[in-house]
Amino acid sequence: MKSLVLAEKPSVAREIARVLQCNIKNKGFMEGPKYVVTWALGHLVTLAEPEDYDRKYKEWRMEDLPMLPDQLKLKVIRQTSQQYQVVTRLMKRADIGELVIATDAGREGELVARWIMKLGDWHKPFKRLWISSQTVAAILEGFAKGLAAGPYAEAARKLLASPLKPTKRLVDDSKVSDHHAIIPTEQPLKLAELTSDEKSLYDLIARRFLAVLSPPYRYDQLTVIAGIQGEKFYARGKVLKDPGWRAVTSHQSDQEENQEDALPEQTLANLNQGEARTVKNLKPQKGKTKPPARYTEATLLTAMENPGKFIEDEELRETMKGSGLGTPATRAEIIEKLLHTSYIERSGKELVPTSKGRQLINLVAPELRSPELTAQWEQALTDIARGKGSKTAFIQGIREQTVHLVKSIAQDNSVYRADNISRTKCPVCGKYMLLVNGKRGKMLVCQDRSCGHRQPEKERDFNFGSSKKASQMNQKLIARYSDHQNIGSNMGDLLKEAMAKQKEEK
């Protein structure tokens, strides 16, 4: 019998297949004497859409909310359905005796595999490959240590419930999950084969890695708060005791610290609390306080990666360490969605909220606009993983919170008022269009998202399909399906009528 190895992406599957000597390449998988290696493309399975439960949910209506099905349904993602078929065919092969989950070592990676297994009706034994590196040594070690995933969960619960003595005092590899830091591997370094830029990048990564494993940077800090005629003046100084991790980093660490500190460092004499000194000289310096800089895409991504600093509760702030808003793979996509839906817009390199975005912040429930909610959920999920929390209670809490929020919104009389409505009607649906800033200047966007029509603000730049070819295709469609009785109708109405008739004909 062979083992089926399921990786999360093709690149990882190729590395595993190379190590396991799976040299026979097929469409969607690679095979060897003992293993068959296949892959997902991220998620192959997702949660069903509302209309998959009931056709009435296809149209958005407030009275149908909240939608809280007893059991969540799964469905195959259409864009990657071919690879799903490959995986499930392999799962049903008679010579496949077990499944090795080799998706990313984390919560989301586990879900990728478990949803495929659930929808694919997998009932045979399965194991979990837990690796965070794709080197030959790491893959071989991972397969050597592989444990049955079913009993593994029970064994983990027993271990967590019993007192453990620490045996790893330097590095605990078991805490390394997916999307970890970029770190050096055990692969031998061949400096002669690297370009100048590659050497510089490797040096940066290696130094930061060594800094993490180095002792603390130790210094004595003196802060002076001087009272002069009722006003307070501040000064701060440091005396180095042990360079620690700074001994292996470049001057970059000094630059990073100076950017964070608003108060400049200087050398100060030892002073005692309450001691009086004579001021011999004063040098006034003019300055203005500055508001926080607007976010750019780069700084917003950093803030999403480390949202803990926006949380006042210390316990929740600690929970968010290592987590974030979104994942490394989805954060940029979230920003693009906010831009596309006109909640924010670009102003040069900066991102600024639109009127629509500002109104959303005012209208939405306070708990939904704070990263503390994410932190609370993360804490609850961590407790469940450690056997300290109840999955049933957590899900029930989410359902109750959803009911409460929908009820609050239904009773709220606040109204959203778009202040960027233009006097131009959408040529497709006839509704007034919104004026927004696009990448290529001002754009007119239909306020009906189900319509989705967009066009440049200037009439001379407009064509119905955003290209000459598309416009010609629309004209041909109208000519074929129009009954020539609506001569006075606008182009949008004619096009919608033609498209409806075309759909009926199919």
Provide DSSP, 145-201. Answer: T-EEHHHHHHHHHHHHHS------SS--GGG--TT------SSPP-GGGS-HHHHHH
N-term to C-term CA, the chain: 48
Q: Maximum distance among all alpha carbons in the chain? A: 97
What letter represents residue 140's amino acid? Answer: L
pTM here? 0.63
pLDDT of amino acid 226:
80
Q: Cα–Cα distance between 417 and 355 in angstroms, integer? A: 9
Domain boundaries, the chain: 2-163, 218-266, 297-387, 463-506
Q: Cα–Cα distance between 82 and 90 in angstroms, integer? A: 13
Angle between helices 468-481 and 491-505 (to 10 degrees): 70
Domain 297-387: assigned CATH number: 1.10.460.10
The three-state secondary structure class of 211 is helix
What letter represents residue 440's amino acid? Answer: R
Quick check: 34 and 3 in contact, CB under 8 A? yes
Q: Cα–Cα distance between 32 and 23 in angstroms, integer? A: 6
What are the structure tokens assigned to 50, written together? 């509302």
Quick check: 51 and 67 in contact, CB under 8 A? no
The three-state secondary structure class of 30 is strand
Residues 6+ apart with CB under 8 A from 480: 498
* Helices marked H in 20-102: 50-53, 81-91
Q: Using alpha carbons only, give the angle 115, 387, 130 rounded to the nearest 5 degrees.
A: 50
What letter represents residue 503's amino acid? Answer: K
Query: What is the block-wise mean pLDDT of the chain (506 residues), using blocks of 10 residues?
Result: 96 95 96 97 95 90 92 95 98 96 90 96 92 84 70 55 56 60 79 87 88 87 80 80 84 52 59 78 82 93 88 82 79 91 90 91 88 88 89 95 93 81 87 79 81 74 48 54 46 59 54
Exposure string over 262-272, b if 16+ CB within 10 A, otherwise e: eeeeeeeeeee
Residues 6+ apart with CB under 8 A from 503: none
pLDDT of amino acid 382:
86
Q: Cα–Cα distance between 7 and 5 in angstroms, integer? A: 6
pLDDT of amino acid 462:
42
pLDDT of amino acid 492:
59
Phi, psi of 404 (to 5 degrees): -60, -45
Q: Cα–Cα distance between 257 and 99 in angstroms, integer? A: 49
Nearest Cα to Cα of residue 207 among 226, 185, 179, 183: 183
Q: Cα–Cα distance between 370 and 316 in angstroms, integer? A: 12
Q: What is the DSSP string of 31-48?
A: E-SSEEEEE-SS-SEEEP
Count other Cβ atoms within 10 Å, centred on residue 187.
10
The CATH topology of domain 2-163 is: Rossmann fold (3.40.50)
